[in-house]
């Protein structure tokens, strides 16, 4: 009951946020970038444009660093790092989709996974698994498992099996949530046992909402 009240309050407070103005990057950066960093940032974004890489992550990284008052040299370095991740991501996606246009959303999702520390071979395997599907949820799922100290190879094996059994999109995220949730119950359970447990229930992993509700009530 308390939870229902809290949820209702949260909903009442919820306000639709204006998405970052849907304008060009340069417009959104005006007045927000330290002058010392501006030429280098412009140059990095121009390179991304020339290489057909998505620029939105670079614009976001610039806005973030500026908002945090990061010194110009580190700001530029951070944005350049973003460019390198986008390049690596583009190559991975291009190889998975030979002869086809490379979707920006795929590149952004892969770059985000690389930023989260997912090893490139793992990323490549998941992207190659279903090249035309949005890779974001599967990549986040494996990143979550790796961050929670599951063996990366075993984690991706589980996700591949889940995909083979028909789970798609956010349902793949549910697989990671289920494995982590099983582990969190304690009792000396190991990650290997958690993965085996979830594998045995595939494709019927509980939707995240159910897991979430359970966790809230149980804490």
Partner 1 sequence: MVNDGAPDVEVVARVLGGDGEAFGILIRRYEPGLLRFATRMLGNPDAAADAVAESLVRAYRHLAQCRDPARLRSWLYRITGNRCRSHLARRHTNDIPLSEAPAPALADNTDAWATLERSEQMALVERALSALPAEKREAFVLKHVEGMSYEEMAAVTGARIPTLKMRVHRAREALLVALEEVVR
Partner 2 sequence: MSPIDPRLQEALDGERDPGTLPADLREAYDRLTGAAQLLAGAPRLSVSARVMAQIRKAPHPQPGESSTQRALRWLGRPRAVTVRLRPMWTLALAAGLTAVLLLPFQNGSTPQPGNAEGVAQFVGHFPGARSVEVVGSFNDWSRGMLHLNDDDGDGIWHGAAVLPAGQHEYMFVVDGERWVPDPLAGRYVDDGFGAGQQNSLLIVRPATAEP
Pick from 49, 44, 54, 46: which is nearest to 75 by CA?
44
State the binding partner of 106 from partner 1, partner 2, none, CB within 5 to 8 A by kind. Answer: none
Q: How many CB atoms lie within 10 A of CB 91?
A: 15
Of the pair 87, 197, the CB lying nearest partner 1 is at 87
Least distance to partner 1, CB of residue 52, Å: 5
Euclidean distance between CA atoms 153 and 18, whole angstroms = 40
- Residues binding partner 1: number (CB under 8 A): 11
- Using the rule CB under 8 A, which residue among 33, 37, 110, 112 binds partner 2? 112
Handedness of CA 146, 56, 79, 46 (dihedral sign): positive
* Contacting range for partner 1; rule: CB under 8 A; set: 66-74, 84-92, 127-135, 137-145: 84-92
Euclidean distance between CA atoms 36 and 18, whole angstroms = 29
Of the pair 99, 149, the CB lying nearest partner 2 is at 149
* 164 contacts: CB under 8 Å, gap ≥ 6: none
Pick from 172, 195, 171: which is nearest to 183 by CA?
195
- Tell me: does residue 27 bind partner 2 (CB under 8 A): no
Least distance to partner 1, CB of residue 85, Å: 11
- Tell me: does residue 132 bind partner 1 (CB under 8 A): no
Least distance to partner 1, CB of residue 54, Å: 12
- Using the rule CB under 8 A, which residue among 37, 44, 75, 110 binds partner 2? 75
Least distance to partner 2, CB of residue 32, Å: 9
- Using the rule CB under 8 A, which residue among 33, 41, 48, 82 binds partner 2? 82
Q: Are 174 and 205 in contact (CB under 8 A)?
A: yes
* 114 contacts: CB under 8 Å, gap ≥ 6: 85, 88, 89, 120, 123
The residues binding partner 1 (CB under 8 A) are 47, 50-53, 84, 87-88, 90-91, 94
């Amino acid at each position: 009951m308390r939870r229902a009240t809290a949820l209702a309050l949260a909903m009442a407070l919820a306000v639709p946020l204006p998405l970052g103005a849907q304008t060009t990057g340069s417009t959104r950066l005006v007045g927000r970038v330290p002058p010392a960093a501006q030429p280098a940032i412009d140059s990095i974004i121009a390179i991304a444009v020339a290489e057909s890489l998505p620029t939105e992550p670079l614009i976001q990284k610039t806005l973030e660093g500026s908002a945090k008052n990061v010194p110009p040299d580190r700001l530029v370095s951070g944005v350049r790092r973003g460019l390198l991740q986008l390049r690596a991501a583009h190559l991975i996606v291009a190889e998975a989709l030979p002869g086809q246009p490379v979707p920006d959303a795929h590149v952004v999702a892969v770059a985000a996974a690389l930023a989260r520390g997912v090893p490139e071979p793992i990323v490549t395997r998941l992207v190659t698994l279903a090249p035309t599907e949005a890779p974001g949820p599967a990549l986040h799922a494996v990143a979550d498992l790796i961050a929670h100290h599951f063996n990366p190879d075993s984690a991706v094996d589980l996700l591949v099996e889940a995909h083979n059994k028909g789970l798609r999109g956010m349902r793949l995220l549910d697989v990671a949530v289920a494995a982590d949730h099983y582990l969190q119950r304690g009792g000396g359970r190991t990650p290997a046992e958690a993965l085996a447990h979830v594998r045995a229930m595939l494709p019927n992993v509980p939707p995240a909402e159910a897991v979430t509700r359970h966790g809230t009530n149980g804490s």
